[in-house]
Structure 1
Amino acid sequence: MGKGSFFETEPGVELYYEDHGDGPPIVFVPGWTFTTEVFQHQFAHFSKHHRVVSFDPRSQGRSTLVLTGNDYTTQSADLCRLIDHLGLQDPVLVGWSAASLTVWGVVRNRGTAPLRGIVTIDMPPAPLTGCGEDWTEFDMPGAMAFYQALMTPKGHRDIVTWYAREIMVQRDLTEAELDWIVSQSTSTPCWAAAAYCAAEWFSDFLPEAKAVDQALPGLFVVADSSADKALPYLQRHLPNTGVELLGGHFMFWEHPDQFNAVLDAFIARLA
């Protein structure tokens, strides 16, 4: 990935973004507290034949740290403005984890017509329903423990270390890899990370996911560990949207060749 640029999404709030390659546009949106750097393997692969864009959401990475707007409704509006700023026509949106809510938020803001397709990575459209039959990110006790850990910088480091080892990646991480993952997340202050967490868990984008299911080519890439709950949930609510099972929560980084092949195949069906 090369040198990025900055875009002022509103007065005093700049978003850092990367924009490489030429061709039909793909926009990759990093999840909770992470940055464009997580998509290094996707930039290298897809920018050969596509215009590939990603950005650091507000309060994440190199973008402006702010006290307000650390939620996925605002992040969706920021993404819409970036799409307009770059003049992207009919993009494919790819949201990882909580950023799946961001791409469904684009549908809430603008409908499905301006988009070519949507790919969401390992995130249900209503992340915390309280219903045991649903595919959710956590159960309520797990969500409470995760949120409480974010009250201090040390707690933030510790919970992301656990999450990286137990949820994100299936193999043993080297110390350098673990340090990089933790530093990615903790570049967002713990109070902003907590605000994003609360916004995520109290979101419900199932109506937007259903709109995509009816009107657009869509794909869920789901971690193997989520399959038991995700597959019946998706069949019940979103039967027209494709599903692929692959690896852990960070599968596009851990298994880039397999993930890129899945996304290549999805994009080929859009032609």
Structure 2
Amino acid sequence: MLRASATATFLLACLLFGRPALAADRYFVTSDGVRLHYTEVGQGRTIVMVPGWTMPAWIFDRQIRAFSRFYRVVAFDPRSQGESEVASSGHDPWRRGQDIAELLEQLGPEPVLLMGWSLGVLDSLAYINGHGDRRVAGLVLIDNSVGEDPPPSGSGSAAPRRRGAPPTRAERMRAFVDGMFTRPLPKSYLERLVEACLRTPPAAAAALLSYPVPRTFWKEALYSTSHPVLYVVRPTWAGQAANVAQRHPNAETVIMQGVGHALFVDDPDRFDRVVTDFIRRRVWP
């Protein structure tokens, strides 16, 4: 099956939702020779969006359309995800942070708002850890641990044994994707998302789930920046959010109720309002 380009996906959504826009596919080659993709649309100050584990950047479709009315939006496909090249190596925080650094070099000298979701939170903090915050005007960190207390809790019990053949990788990914949302979504959308996620090879996907750094790596990166930070999470991370709000002098936190892990898809109106308000008050008044 042929995969639609990120731009084609975005333009189709614009037609469906009545939002005229011009989006462009862009590519660059990293210093270790991997061809990476991003979609660019809009003008003005730059927002860079970094998706989660195995996810394509077009999962931010609603935010791309909303924020490109006022800003230049860059939706990034990390290596081995989305329209970017499947890489044989570099699925670690140091290389992924370097990839973001090299992306920012492509975009010009002005500081950007860096918005990371799930694994994109860690990749964004890896960038800060390795390169500082000179190129960052602010951070939006969405629904993942930032190394604060309390640490993520385990499941507490072993998963029940399943009778019969073990699930296939496609079945596991489909269950993972279905579990990210609380509101019903079209089957075609979910299947397209599963197909995109399966493009990340098993070895790369496993490496991305086991970054070999202590939790303090993320916390130190977060507290090393004095720029505005917005931490938007579900109640799962409420304890960490409370500590971030107390300990980071320039951080704001928002707890979103009744949403899944892809909270910006489940409740895009509220998410977009929260981020827009943060940008206009704290990042680019």
Using the size of structure 1 for normalisation, the TM-score is 0.84
Q: Which runs of 4+ in 1 moved over 4 A?
A: 200-203
Give the superposition deviation at 1:225: 4.0
**Unpaired runs of 5+ in structure 1?**
128-132, 146-152
Output the CA distance in 1 between the equivalents of 2:245 and 2:137: 22
Opposite residue 58 of structure 2, the aligned amino acid is E
Change (3 A) 1:249 1:66: same
Match of 2:251 in 1: 241
* Distance (Å, rounded) in 1 between the aligned partners of 2:85 and 2:193: 20
Larger Rg over CA atoms:
2
Instruction: Flag the 1:154–1:181 CA change in 2: closer, same or farther, 3 A.
Output: farther
The one of 61, 84, 95 equivalent to 1:63 is 84
Distance 1:200 1:96, change over 3 A: farther
- Pick one of 170, 193, 217 that aligns with 1:181: 193
* Worse overlay, 175-184 or 46-55: 175-184
Aligned to 1:198: 210
The CA deviation at 1:239 is 6.0
Task: Give the corresponding residue for 1:149.
Answer: none
* Distance in 2 of aligned mates of 1:211 and 1:81: 21
Q: Residue 69 of structure 2: SS of its match in structure 1?
A: coil
CA contact (8 A) 1:224 1:248 kept: no
Residues 81 and 96 from structure 1, CA distance in 2 versus in 1: closer, same or farther, beyond 3 angstroms? same
Please give the per-residue CA displacement for 1:186-239, whole angstroms capped at 9, x wherever unaligned.
121111100111117756311011123xx1110101023433x33444356546
How many residues are aligned here? 253
**Distance in structure 1 (CA, Å) of the matches to 2:229 and 2:80:** 29
**What's the CA shift string for 1:137-181, capped at 9, x where partnerless?**
x52778x98xxxxxxx95433333333333x11124443233133
SS in 1 for 2:27: strand
The CA distance in 1 between the partners of 2:271 and 2:122, in whole Å, is 20
Contact 2:119 2:144 in 1 (8 A): yes
Contact 2:231 2:241 in 1 (8 A): no
One-letter amino acid of the structure 2 residue matched with residue 139 of structure 1: G
CA deviation vs aligned residue, 1:100-152 (integer Å, no higher than 9, x gap): 1111122112222321100100111239xxxxx6142x52778x98xxxxxxx
* Identity level (%): 30
Quick check: 1:217 aligned with 2:233? no
How far does residue 244 in structure 1 lie from its aligned partner after superposition?
0.9
Where 1:187 maps in the other structure, the secondary structure is coil
Deviation at 1:90, TM superposition (A): 1.1
Q: Residue 267 in 1 paired to residue 279 in 2?
A: yes
Measured in 1, the distance between the counterparts of 2:270 and 2:151 equals: 24
Change (3 A) 1:119 1:70: same
Q: Per residue, is there more helix in 1 or in 2? A: 1
